[in-house]
Amino acid sequence: MISAVSEKYGIHPQTLRLYEREGLLRPSRSDGNTRLYTDEDLDRLEVILSLTRDLGVNLAGVEIILNMREKMAEMQRQMETFVRELNTQFAQRPKPQEGQPQKTSLIPVLHIRSTRATGD
C-alpha cells in the first residue's frame, strides 16, 4: 500500500502519486482502488530513487533510462532465445560418420583463395 511504501522509502505519498502520473510506476489496484505495489514495483522504485537522489537525474531522464533498461532486457531475452535455438539446432545435426570429413559450421563457408598467398 502507498502508506507502507512511502514510509519504508522515506518519501511522501504525493511523490509516489507523481511517479504514477508520470508513468514511471504502475502499481496495480485492489477492488477498493487501493494501490498495491509488487516486488517488481519496489525494485523499479529503488532504481528511480537511486537515479534521482544519488545521481541527480530529473524525471524526464529517469523515464529515458527506464525505457532503455527495458529495451536492453528485452534484447537480452531475445539473444538468449536465439542462442538456445542455435544450440538446439547444432545438437540435432547428424553426427559425421567415421571416415567422412566433418563440417565445422552451421552454414556453408566459401573458401576464397588469397591473392597474396598464391602470387596472383
CATH of the domain at 46: 1.10.1660.10
Residue 16 included in any domain? yes
CA distance 97 to 34: 67
**Is pLDDT above 80 for 113?**
no
Residue 86 included in any domain? yes
Choice between 112 and 53, residue whose per-residue pLDDT is larger: 53
Residue 26 included in any domain? yes
C-alpha cell at 70: 527495458
**Which range, of 4-8, 24-28, 47-51, 103-107, averages the lowest pLDDT?**
103-107
Residues 15/6, Cβ–Cβ less than 8 Å: yes
**Residues listed for the chain:** 120
Which H helix or E strand runs over 67? helix 59-92
Whether pTM exceeds 0.85: no
Residue 70 included in any domain? yes
Residue 74 included in any domain? yes
Number of domains in the chain: 1
Residues 17-33 have pLDDT tens digits of 999 999 999 999 999 99
Q: What is the mean pLDDT of residues 37-55?
A: 97
Residues 48/62, Cβ–Cβ less than 8 Å: yes
> What is the domain extent for residue 16?
2-92
Residue 114 included in any domain? no
**Is pLDDT above 80 for 39?**
yes
